Amino acid sequence: MSRRANLPTKTKNTMKTPSLLTLLVLLSCLLAPVRADEARKPNFIIVYTDNLGYGDIEPFGSEVHRTPNLNRMAKEGRKFTHFCVTAGVCTPSRASIMTGCYSQRVRMHDNPRDGWVLRPVSPYGLHPDEVTVAEVLQDAGYATGMIGKWHLGDQPEFLPNQQGFDYFFGIPYSDDMTQEAGRRAAERQKSNPRAPDLGGLAWPPLPLMENETVIEAPVDRDGLTKRYTEKALEWIEENRDRPFFLYFPQAMPGSTSQPFSSPEFRGKSANGPWGDSIEELDWSQGQLLDKLVELGIAENTLVIWTSDNGAPINPKPGDLSRGSNQPLHGRGYTTAEGAFRVPTLVWWPGTVPAGTECAELCTTMDLLPTFAALAGGEIPSDRTIDGKDIRPLLVGEEGAESPYEAFFYYDGPQLQAVRSGRWKLFVPLETWRNHPHFTRQGEAGGGKPLLFDVVADIASEHDVAAEHPEVVERLMRYAERAREDLGDMDREGSGQRAIGEVENPTPRVLSAAR
């Protein structure tokens, strides 16, 4: 491994001699009668869909996709309307949910070969010395399983089993990164020197893996949602008698213009393949919730449904064939609200108040510290963790507010926007990457500050920078703080850690023995 500078190594807690008071407390706990359900730590399930838009499901306003099971989840749980990811695209978003950090901090936002999304046979991945939410819970006595899309490095050092997961079933990167897609990418590289450098390596047939072994290649992409669901239900049943954490990153609706779905769902929605895939995702969620009820562990299981970023959307008005982020502004892959703010439902019968809504800003980075607090685990104390403990928001504590003074919107290495409370500021830029307000505002590169009240003006239609110069000034100070800590374009941040890197990467392929 290289690029280890500024990265603390993982350490286990060392044993300390207990004090007399500690021994007395332990003895009293052993003698006191404790009911089994009181002593049991909560289970955690994260369902992380791929490119699902804010307006793609009925609880968030969809009138074209039928999602009865998500309606049930909202009715029995809590809807979060200002829940954000930390990137408008796959790899950096997934790095944040795993580490509780901005992807810029762990350098999973951009790399010299792949750009901002890892491609097959990349030498890069999430550094093994980073501490993931799976490792935090594993150390707290949890069974840890991952079923679905990883996309944080396909080399053996970076795979889920090396990052805290006891079990992995899924694909190591996006389902659209097929052998044929690799051939097309190589052709683009020949004709376009600005295209990502693929290192001359061909992409293998799309591999389905169980733990560290490729068990099928190429995998049938049509059946991924169904197979993932069946495997998830099986894994939950196997681990029902101990605390567990299931990370369930679904493949759909995904990055392709024609999402995949099982034959039972194909052609059944009112919105073509995109709608078919979402309605199958809804079916999958119903299967999961029903299994928890059937096993009698629903009241001890916190389930979170969300997305890795917003939908790519079709620019043609009224065309929902590539998803909807309505009523938010912008598409996925940018720093618009439609890319960062994602539909999020939280379900924990008896603990999360049913039929409620939270409009406070919180993020996927918060899940690591929140789960650690609920599980009695420990978050690393030798490094910065950007996420916050949001238990008060989960349980609807009266007066609970967002723990964020400022939240930062990066497009790869470029800081483009800052949010604080109701205000979101797009900072002035001389050059830009994917600036979401360039077309509408007509400002070359977003060359002036743009300020929006994203609470009152949900579609970000009214620039109010001129009316609130003091807000602009305050948020610009936050922006400078982020640049110093997390970097900006070619500027190094003092708080950035190392990306993982290996020499001579190899493709994940079926072994000759199979």
Query: How far apart are the C-alpha atoms of 122 and 481, rounded to whole Å?
Result: 32
The sign one gets for the Cα dihedral 120, 124, 129, 133 is negative
Query: How far apart are the C-alpha atoms of 301 and 143, rounded to whole Å?
Result: 14
CB of 169 closer than 8 Å to CB of 270: no
- Catalytic-residue membership of 127: no
Query: How far apart are the C-alpha atoms of 384 and 380, rounded to whole Å?
Result: 8
Query: How far apart are the C-alpha atoms of 264 and 261, rounded to whole Å?
Result: 8
- Catalytic-residue membership of 101: no
Residues 6+ apart with CB under 8 A from 16: none
Reduced to 3 states, what is the DSSP secondary structure of residue 394? helix
Catalytic residue among 82, 127, 151, 435: 151
Amino acid at 261: S
Query: How far apart are the C-alpha atoms of 50 and 53, rounded to whole Å?
Result: 9
Query: How far apart are the C-alpha atoms of 246 and 441, rounded to whole Å?
Result: 43
Reduced to 3 states, what is the DSSP secondary structure of residue 350? coil
H helix intervals, 307-379: 337-340, 367-375
CA torsion, points 189, 194, 198, 202, in degrees to nearest 10?
-20
Reduced to 3 states, what is the DSSP secondary structure of residue 329? coil
Q: 241 burial class (0-12, 13-18, 19+ CB within 10 angstroms)? A: exposed
Query: How far apart are the C-alpha atoms of 365 and 244, rounded to whole Å?
Result: 20
Q: What is the arrangement of strands in the sheet containing 414-420, beginning at the earlier edge strand?
A: 407-411, 414-420, 423-426, 450-453
Q: Are strands 244-253 and 301-307 parallel, antiparallel or unpaired?
A: unpaired
Catalytic residue among 65, 82, 90, 101: 90
Q: State both tokens at 494.
A: 């003092």
Closest to 329 in 3D by CA, of 310, 316, 344, 343: 310
H helix intervals, 412-493: 438-441, 469-486
Amino acid at 364: T
Residues labelled catalytic: 90, 151
